[in-house]
Structure formats: C-alpha cells, structure tokens
C-alpha cells in the first residue's frame, strides 16, 4: 500500500532529492497547465524532467486519499514505506562530513507537529539524525512530513526499542549525551561545549525528559527564561534553540 506525502514543500523536496522513490505524482485537475507562478505547475515540470509519472485528480479524489483536513495544496506523491535509519547511519554521516556527531533524541514527544518541527530544525541546523522511541511517541506520518516541510525525507530518523540502550550505544561510540531539561544539576545552555560529539535529549510535551532518561545523560543543561508566566518552552522551540547554540559554538571563529 503506498504512502502519500503531500503539500508543496514536502513534495518538492522529495521530487528533487529522491525521485526514484516516487511511484507517481498526483495533482489537482487543471493545476499542471496553470500559467504564472503556480508552485504545483512548477513541481509538475520538475517531476516530468525526472521521469516521474504525473496524473491529475479532482480535489475530492485527493481529499479521499489523504483526508479532507490534510491541506494537501493540490499535490501529493505516492511513495514507498518510510525508510528508518539506525544509529550507525547517523554516526557514519557525521564521519563522512568530517564533523562531530550531532543527534537529537526525543524522549516521548507525541505531538506530530512538534516532531515535524524538530526534524525540520535538526535538518536545517545540520544535525546528523533524530532518534525516536518505539513506544509512546509520534512516528513519521504524512502529517509529520508536512510539518517538517519535507525534512523527514532527507534526514536519518531512527526508531529504537530501548532509549537507555541507545544512549549507551552512543556513549560507547564517543558521543556525549546531554539532557535539555531543568534540574538541580543543570547548567545554562551557553556553558555546553558544543564542539563535542553530542546527543541532545529533549522530553515530552509538559512532562519533559523522564528522570530515568536524564540519569543516563552525561550533562544537563537548561535554557534560561526571563519570564516563566507561561510555563516551559514548547519542545520544538527548545530543541531549535539547543541546536542553534551547538551550531554557534561550532562555527565560532577560533582565537
């Protein structure tokens, strides 16, 4: 059974990055021939140039395939099952790029939009992968791919049965593990040595990083907040800030 990826951004990225993974491109009737700067028409041109089969469907037919609430923007692709990676793939990607590893580990993030936003930030800011637990967590769905603007198709994502074991495996590979969470021993995020090989652990919406997971981590850091009247930061925002701080440290001029 095909998996559908929808929305202008995700479909464009998949057409450009992995055209051979696409079984067919489906577009709303009339959009392929529309004059002007219609992004769907532009995607059709790229798809045909890549040898991808293109078919037109009514909006009602597209709605039936992905759901009327999917906001498919008149374009979707049928592709194979989601390709998940493993930790070795992420470490290999870091080595290939000549960079210290940077991996994001999600401890029970269940909201699809948060998962998509985190994957998008991780990809844009140069992380080598995202790790998601098998249980009690959101996995990649078309809605997550849409929220990620297609980054789920470009960044290695691993699903692990045991998060503690995954942390141990990363430690054995020379990666330092860091919980982004408030705790008595947490230091300001700005004091984290971002030049180290790192796995940043962020927790579930509301409850944060679980205590058992936090105890496994080498470091604890927190993001100082000037105003606490609305509680903690959204997990996807916290992940983005932590990633940016690491990237800033890695690109800071020496001396």
Segments in the chain forming alpha helices (H): 8-17, 39-49, 59-66, 87-96, 112-124, 142-147, 163-172, 211-216, 235-251
Nearest residue to 79 (alpha-carbon basis) of 156, 157, 1, 2: 2
**CB of 104 within 8 A of CB of 130?**
yes
d(CA 93, CA 172): 17
Whether residues 199 and 132 fall in one domain: yes
Residue that finishes a domain, picked among 11, 45, 79: 79
| Same domain (yes/no): 119, 155 | yes
144 and 127 in one domain? Answer: yes
User: Same structural domain for residues 94 and 210?
Assistant: yes
Q: What is the pLDDT of residue 21?
A: 86
Q: Which residues pair with 24 in a beta bridge?
A: 78
For the chain, the first-to-last Cα distance in angstroms comes to 56
**Domain boundary, last residue among 22, 52, 79:** 79
Q: What is the mean pLDDT of residues 146-174?
A: 94
Are 111 and 229 part of one and the same domain?
yes
Domain count of the fold of the chain:
2
pLDDT of residue 91: 97
- The residue among 79, 111, 127 that closes a domain is 79
Task: Let me know whether 146 and 218 are in one domain.
Answer: yes
Q: Which residues span the domain enclosing 15?
A: 3-79
For residues 39 and 92, membership in a common domain is answered with no
Judged against a pLDDT cut of 90, whether residue 225 lies above it is answered with no
For 105, other C-beta atoms within 10 Å of its C-beta total 28
CA atoms within 13 A on the CB side of 30: 2
Work out whether the CA dihedral 224, 229, 230, 232 comes out positive or negative: positive
The three-state secondary structure class of 228 is coil
Place of tokens 């098998």: 134
Give the predicted TM-score (pTM) of the model: 0.86
**Beta strands across the sheet bearing 75-79:** 3-6, 75-79, 22-28, 54-57
Do residue 104 and residue 170 come from a single domain? yes
Q: Which residue has the tokens 């990363």?
A: 170
Under DSSP, is residue 77 helix (H, G, I), strand (E, B) or coil?
strand
Q: Clarify whether residues 17 and 97 are in a common domain.
A: no
Instruction: For residues 60 and 40, state if they share a domain.
Output: yes
pLDDT digits (tens, 9 = 90+) for 164-194: 999 999 999 999 999 998 777 889 999 999 9
Taking only the tens place, the pLDDT of each residue in 119-140 is 999 999 999 999 999 998 889 9
Q: Based on the fold, state whether residues 75 and 91 are members of the same structural domain.
A: no
Considering the domain architecture, whether residues 159 and 238 belong to the same structural domain is answered as yes
pLDDT at 232 over 80: no
| CA–CA separation, 243 and 128 (whole Å) | 11
How large a percentage of the chain has pLDDT more than 90? 60
d(CA 187, CA 38): 49
pLDDT of residue 100: 97
- For tokens 């994957």, name the residue: 119
CATH number of the domain that residue 92 is part of: 3.40.1280.10
**How much is the pLDDT for 111?**
92
pLDDT tens, 30-83?
887 776 678 899 999 999 999 999 999 999 999 998 887 788 999 999 988 888
Phi first, then psi, for residue 247 (nearest 5°) are -60, -40
Assign residue 44 the CATH number of its domain: 3.30.1330.30
* Res 164: pLDDT: 93
């Amino acid at each position: 059974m095909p998996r559908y990826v929808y929305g202008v951004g995700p479909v464009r990225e998949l057409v450009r990055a992995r055209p051979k993974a696409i079984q067919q491109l489906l577009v709303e009737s009339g959009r392929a021939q529309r004059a002007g700067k219609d992004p769907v028409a532009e995607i059709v041109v790229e798809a045909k140039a890549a040898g991808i089969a293109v078919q037109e469907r009514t909006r009602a037919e597209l709605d039936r395939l992905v759901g009327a609430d999917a906001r498919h923007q008149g374009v979707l692709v049928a592709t194979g099952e989601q390709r998940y990676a493993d930790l070795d793939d992420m470490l290999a990607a870091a080595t290939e790029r000549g960079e210290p590893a940077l991996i994001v580990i999600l401890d029970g993030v269940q909201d699809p939009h948060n998962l998509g936003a985190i994957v998008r930030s991780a990809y844009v800011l140069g992380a080598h992968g995202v790790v998601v637990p098998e249980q009690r967590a959101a996995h990649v769905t078309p809605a997550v791919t849409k929220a990620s603007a297609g980054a789920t198709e470009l960044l290695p994502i691993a699903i692990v049965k045991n998060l503690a074991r995954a942390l141990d495996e990363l430690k054995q590979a020379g990666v330092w593990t860091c919980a982004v969470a408030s705790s008595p021993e947490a230091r300001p995020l700005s004091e984290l040595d971002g030049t180290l090989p790192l796995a940043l652990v962020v927790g579930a919406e509301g409850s944060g990083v679980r205590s058992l997971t936090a105890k496994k981590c080498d470091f604890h850091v927190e993001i100082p907040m000037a105003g606490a009247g609305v509680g903690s930061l959204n997990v996807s925002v916290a992940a983005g800030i932590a990633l940016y701080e690491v990237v800033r440290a890695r690109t800071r001029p020496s001396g």
